[in-house]
Amino acid sequence: MICEQRDAPVAGVRFIVHPPATERTGAIPRHLAVADECAQHANLVAETLERMRHAEGAPDLVVGHIGWGGMLFVKDVLPRTPALAYCEYYFQPKGGDIGFDPRTPVSIAELSRARLRNMVQRATLDGIEGGISPTVWQRSRYPAAIRPRIAVCHEGVDVNLCRPDAAARFRLPNGRFLSPGDPVVTYVARDLEPYRGFPQFMRAAARIAARREDALFVVAGNDGISYGRAHISGRSWRAVMMEETAIDPSRIFFLGAIDHASLIRLFQVSAAHVYLTVPFVLSWSLLEAMACGCNVVGSDTAPVKEVIGDGHNGVLADFWDADAIAAQVMDGLARPEAMRPRRLAARATIEQRYRRGDCLARQVDILGRTIMGEISAGAGGQ
């Protein structure tokens, strides 16, 4: 694993850490900053691979994310080594995250940065064997000429670990324990921000709190920004939305980042789980929540609709409509037994389409066929 930093050790994996790219403020024109950053990443990875090649020979295969440039020069260092791209997201001026908020005009600078990132992805894909995207919609963002070279294969969900548990208990920071059947509304994101619909969730929560005195809201996620922009005031979106909605702090619990075992227990006690996102990369947390049998209220946006059939294994609401989101959550709280078929269908969807063992077997097959030369540069990635 070649990377800028090792967040945590992984059994059986050797990490080779290279220096981070340098932010050269003022050294280059602002509109070329993205291209410069990607070129730096490309050089750092290429230099690392060159040292490895001299020390221990060429690897059998190279797989890497192409969004930040790291894979750009792989074939220049290792011309006979097959390489596959992780194709997570291709920016388009319409139909995705760019321009989704009608209140925020899209600047030329934003479009230029996106086009430069896409340029790096296309240049990378031009010389390697193919790629893998985790979902059909994410693959669909790539140009039509490229799509045949990108296979769709999700990383998968551990359905033995992520499962319903009627005996689950979740301990809140105040010491209270929650159990399945309690009127618990959950929300999970890496960071609490607009890309994942946090403001709309908070507005919906305020409406629910006014109508259900027993409802509790449990939120997992940090106060940073993973995508998009910080609030204009410089404050966290959590602080901004607590002020706007005036929700009683005793009714809502902000957990920050929690460990995976706690996350699963949170899903297991959830009466209604709210998952909102602009058209962007689908969160793994949604699939894990479904595997745990959550009653999901999701946004009516393309990546979510690939997984959730409205009224079947979850329910969809307009991303911008806090009243509609609140109404769907209230329905779930009011009719818990009626939600049982939906919960079972959510679990079945993950077992049938996203079981980790099946996904890994498909990934291993793709990697193996690439190594054997059955998938070659310019050929298909399917």
What are the pLDDT digits (tens) for 67-101?
999 999 999 999 999 999 999 999 999 999 999 99
DSSP secondary structure, 275-291, as one string: E---SSPPPHHHHHHHH
* pLDDT, tens only, 134-149: 999 999 999 999 999 9
DSSP secondary structure, 238-258, as one string: HHHHHHHH---TTTEEE--S-
pLDDT at residue 307 is higher than 50: yes
pLDDT at residue 382 is higher than 50: no
pLDDT at 121: 97
* pLDDT, tens only, 233-290: 999 999 999 999 999 999 999 999 999 999 999 999 999 999 999 999 999 999 999 9
Would you say 38 and 69 are in contact if contact means Cβ atoms under 8 Å apart? yes
pLDDT at 27: 74
Biggest alpha carbon–alpha carbon distance for the chain: 68
* pLDDT, tens only, 169-224: 999 999 999 999 999 999 999 999 999 999 999 999 999 999 999 999 999 999 99
> Which residue do the tokens 């939120």 mark?
219
Task: Of 120, 121, 129, give the one whose Cα is nearest residue 39.
Answer: 120
* pLDDT, tens only, 5-60: 888 889 999 999 998 888 776 777 777 888 999 999 999 999 999 999 999 999 99
Question: How confident is residue 377, by pLDDT bands cut at 50, 70 and 90?
Answer: low
Q: Which two tokens stand for residue 328?
A: 């769907």
Q: Which two tokens stand for residue 295?
A: 């009653």
Q: How far apart are CA 24 and CA 288, in angstroms?
A: 40
Q: Which amino acid does the sequence have at 265? A: R
CA atoms within 13 A on the CB side of 38: 24
Question: How confident is residue 380, by pLDDT bands cut at 50, 70 and 90?
Answer: very low
Q: Which two tokens stand for residue 74?
A: 């792989």
Cross-strand partners of 84: 63, 130
- Reported for 307-314, long-range contacts at CB under 8 A and 24+ positions apart, including other chains, are 307/282, 307/349, 308/346, 311/342, 312/342, 312/345, 313/342, 313/345, 313/346, 313/348, 313/349, 314/290, 314/342, 314/346
> Which residue do the tokens 């140009």 mark?
143
